[in-house]
Amino acid sequence: MTSEGLGSVAGLLLLFAGHDTTMAMIGLSALTLLTHPEQRSQLLDEPAKVGPAVEELLRYLTIVQFGLGRVAKEDLELGGQQIAAGDLVVVAMPAANRDPRAFDAPDSPDFDRRMTRHLAFGYGVHQCLGQNIARAELKTILPQLFRRFPDLKLAVPVEEVPMDVYGTNYGVRSLPVTW
């Protein structure tokens, strides 16, 4: 491939890897904050909590839902399973990010959690290239959304919010709100 072609592929990868993920994360984070008023207040009233809140939302929501594919380079045993060199391994990141051996009360969003790691951006040499811009966007957008629309509310019961459960990224199809 020519360097021009490679440049286009890299541009497309950045556009598509970065657009749908960030969109899904903003919608689902907004839904989480609408349904968790205590966490919403923490986000708005305690600027020091914005970074930890975004990190916790990334863990709690883990929008890249169908896992990372990796090919084993050598025979190994993992969690009692034999994996042969060349086998495809799919890592279920939502399960890892809700693992009670790694996180206390993993099914609740806790902005006070002392978190050292999560897998929302993957792991290793191929982990998300855009993670720092994604973090910066979320840290800006989420507090700003609720400052700009302090009376933002769901316009339908939470169980009627249309969810995208089968897409590459878990998220809301739309988020009906009033303000």
Residues within the interface to ligand HEM (CB under 6 A):
13-14, 17-18, 21-22, 25, 63-64, 68, 120-124, 126-130, 133-134
Whole-angstrom CA distances from 47 to 22, 33, 123 are 22, 16, 28
Q: How far is the CB of 138 from ligand HEM (least distance, A)?
A: 7
- CB under 8 Å to 102, separation ≥6 — which residues? 96
69 or 80: CB nearest ligand HEM:
69
Q: Which of 57, 25, 52, 63 is nearest to 115 (CA)?
A: 52
Task: Compute CA 89 distance to the chain's CA centroid, rounded to the nearest angstrom.
Answer: 21
Continuous segment of H or E residues that includes residue 117? none
| Gap between the Cα atoms of 10 and 37, Å rounded | 40
Q: Are 63 and 46 in contact (CB under 8 A)?
A: no
